[in-house]
Amino acid sequence: MHLDFITVGTAHNIDRTIAELSAKYLPFTFKKDDGKGGFIEGSEAYYQAQVIVREIRFFEAIFPEQHKDLILNTLFGDDAGKLCLFDDAGKKYEKYLWALRKMLKLQPIPENYDKSKIMPLYKAHSHFIGLGIKEDRKEDGKEML
CB-based contact 86:38 (threshold 8 Å) = no
How far apart (Å, rounded) are the C-alpha atoms in residues 145 and 139? 11
Read off the pLDDT of residues 42-89 as tens digits, 9 standing for 90 and up: 888 888 999 999 887 788 888 988 899 999 888 887 644 444 555 565
pLDDT, greater one: 79 or 118:
118
- For the cut 50, the answer to whether the pLDDT of residue 22 exceeds it is yes
Split at pLDDT 50, 70, 90, the class of 145 is low
CB-based contact 117:73 (threshold 8 Å) = yes
For residue 139, the 8-state DSSP code is: E
Read off the pLDDT of residues 95-113 as tens digits, 9 standing for 90 and up: 787 888 899 899 988 888 8
For residue 81, the SS3 value is coil
For residue 51, the model assigns a pLDDT of 93
Extents of the domains making up the chain: 11-50, 65-144
Split at pLDDT 50, 70, 90, the class of 35 is confident
Query: Long-range contacts of range 99-104, CB-CB < 8 Å, 24 or more positions apart?
Result: 100/131, 100/132, 101/131, 101/132, 104/131, 104/132, 104/134
First to last CA, the chain: 42
